[in-house]
Amino acid sequence: MTLPDTMRFVDLPAFGAPEVMAFATGPVPRPRPGEILLKVEAAGVNRPDVAQRQGTYPAPKDASPILGLEVAGEVVALGAGVTEYAVGDKVCGLANGGGYAQYCIVPVGQALPFPKGYDAVRAAALPETFFTVWANLFQMAGLTEGETVLIHGGTSGIGTTAIQLAKAFGATVYTTAGSVEKCEACIGLGASRAINYKTEDFVEVIKAETGKRGVDIVLDMIGAAYFEKNLAVLAKDGCLSIIAFLGGAVADKVDLRPIMVKRLTVTGSTMRPRTGEEKRGIRDELLAQVWPLLEAGAVAPVIHTVVGFDEVVEAHRLMESSRHIGKIVMRIG
């Protein structure tokens, strides 16, 4: 397959508001050993993209400076040593950057085939949230059948994924959201109780729902603003898993005694700095345990809207508004 020399991509000449993004033309990347090159048909829009645009989430030194962490499309070139995929295969993947472009490099250990019956738009809505939820909720926090979990931000891309996966693996799910409509959406995805954080105290609701026991796991993207309340809502031997700091990264004057008294675990991670081998391990578990659920229709990405490549500014405005329920996907091909 003959590749073009140049491609169109979203450039970030400066940090700031969505309007700083601009289209530019640059060279089509060539895959190195262990990498594949995708002709991008669709790309997910995610909070880390917004943070990178704002200057608070810099790309690693060896990553593409172009925005975009999840893509779906057709394999058009293989790096040396790649045998898992062939040119022409339909693949989605967790990129290390570069997704807002017509062509994108994906390490082969971070690539997955389209689930049966999926097109590029649905496949592009999978990698970032499914990698993140699997790593934090299942691998690190150890969620198992019969446990209870509180998921904050239930209608975010992470939240809609976490609710469905936790339910599919036999957990009882509670969640928070910011409107009646969003709470109803969470119930529809499998939450036993959705708490409107604007009108209810989630600590009091969880205590009432669980007979004062609390939950086994809290999956949190708020951070400092919820830290003390998250400790209060956990049951003995519970785990707080922090994946973002939308409510601040510094918690002042927090009573840490519940961690000792209830033998709590506090953990957290970001996906981007993980090694390629760590990401491959997550990929392998997703293929074995989650892809069958996607193909059976037991779990599915929730897509709020699909925008065109030229609507990238509007997509970032929507992400920042938090009006969406589920994923924002950009059609590129």
pLDDT digits (tens, 9 = 90+) for 197-249: 999 999 999 999 999 999 999 999 999 999 999 999 999 999 999 999 988 88
Cβ pair 293, 138 in contact under 8 A: no
Amino acid residing at 296: A
Least Cα distance to 72 among 47, 38, 101, 22 occurs for: 38
Closest CA to 221 of 175, 284, 153: 153
Domains and CATH numbers, the chain: 6-126+272-331 (3.90.180.10), 130-268 (3.40.50.720)
Q: What is the pLDDT of residue 253?
A: 87
User: Tens of pLDDT along 253-275?
Assistant: 889 999 999 999 999 999 998 99
- State the chain's mean pLDDT as an integer: 97
* pLDDT at residue number 333: 79
Which has the closest alpha carbon to 120: 92, 101, 80? 92
What digits encode the pLDDT tens for the residues 45-96?
999 999 999 999 998 888 999 999 999 999 999 999 999 999 999 999 999 9
The separation between CA 7 and the C-alpha centre of its own chain, rounded to angstroms, equals: 26
Q: Which residue has the tokens 């939950």?
A: 215
Helices (H), the chain: 47-54, 120-124, 127-133, 157-168, 180-189, 202-209, 227-233, 257-261, 276-285, 291-296, 312-321
CA 225 to mean position of chain CA atoms: 21
CB 332 within 8 A of CB 41: yes
Nearest in space to 159 (alpha carbons), one of 184, 135, 130 = 130
Query: Phi and psi for 167 in degrees, rounded to 5?
Result: -65, -45
DSSP state letter for 114: P
pLDDT mean over 119-134: 98
Element (H, E) at 216: strand 215-220
Hey, which residues does 267 pair with through a beta bridge? Answer: 241
pTM for the predicted model, two decimal places? 0.96
Longest pairwise C-alpha distance within the chain: 64
Element housing 234 (H / E): strand 234-242
The whole-angstrom separation of Cα 43 and Cα 39 is: 11
Do 236 and 262 touch, CB atoms closer than 8 A? Answer: yes
- Tell me which residue of 11, 67, 70, 12 sits closest to 38, measured CA to CA: 70
- Is 90 exceeded by the pLDDT of residue 6? yes
